[in-house]
Structures are given as C-alpha cells and as structure tokens.
C-alpha cells in the first residue's frame, strides 16, 4: 500500500509538471518526434538505449528543475539574488542535458537521414 501511495505521489508530480510547465511539454513533444524518427529510421538496439537514456535524463532534470523552483519559491517569496542563482543553475542543468541530447541525436540520426537523401548514381 505504501509503495502504491508513493507511486501515486510521484505520478502527481509528473502530472503537475505536465500541466504547468511549458518546457516539460516541449521536451515530451520532442521525445515523441525522436521516438517516431527512431522507428522510421530503424535505429539499432544500442541506439534505442542511448535515445531512451537521453529522453529520461532530460525529462528528469526538467522535473528536478521544477521541484527546485517550487522549493525556492516557498523558502523565499520575494525576489532574492541567491534564489535567482539557484534557479538559474537548475535551469542550466536542463540546458546542458538538452544540448548533449541534441548532439547525440545528431550522431544517431544524421547519418541515416543523409543516407536516405543521398542522390542515386
């Protein structure tokens, strides 16, 4: 029962992020596009593993960023330079993960896309 309650609480956090955080929705949309591209381009098992890890890392950092922002808002209601810095650092973590994931996506998908569009000789 405790495990189920814990999972429901976690799901509630995901739902909150989905309904209130535009960036979380954007990351989910991009994940759906990447998954569709993976199916279309028939990526390998190892490539699927890397893609899923990238998606999980980006979504997880976005969730953690949201949690940090909400906690910071509770701790200090007014604008505070220290709180701003904490929020900026958390957002920076999401940005780093997103950029690295984009590079990995280019490594996985670009050769396959270029192979498709290569002119026939």
The CA distance from 42 to 35, in Å, is 10
Distance linking the first and last C-alpha atoms of the chain: 64
Q: Are 83 and 47 in contact (CB under 8 A)?
A: no
How far from 16 is each of 9, 24, 46, 78, CA to CA, in Å? 11, 10, 32, 23
What residues are labeled active site? Answer: 62
Distance in angstroms (rounded) separating the CA atoms of residues 118 and 120: 6
Is residue 47 a contact partner of residue 38, using CB atoms and an 8 Å limit?
A: yes
């Amino acid at each position: 029962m405790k495990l189920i309650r814990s999972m429901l609480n976690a799901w509630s956090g995901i739902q909150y992020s989905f309904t209130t955080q535009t960036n979380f929705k954007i990351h989910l949309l991009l994940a759906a596009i990447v998954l569709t591209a993976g199916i279309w381009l028939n990526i390998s098992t190892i490539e699927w593993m890397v893609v899923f890890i990238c998606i999980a890392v980006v979504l997880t950092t976005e969730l953690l960023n949201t949690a940090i922002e909400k906690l910071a808002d509770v701790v200090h209601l007014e604008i505070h330079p220290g709180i701003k810095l904490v929020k900026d650092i958390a957002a920076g973590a999401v940005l780093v993960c997103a950029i690295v994931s984009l590079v990995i996506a280019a490594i996985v998908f670009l050769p396959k896309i270029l192979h498709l569009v290569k002119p026939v000789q």
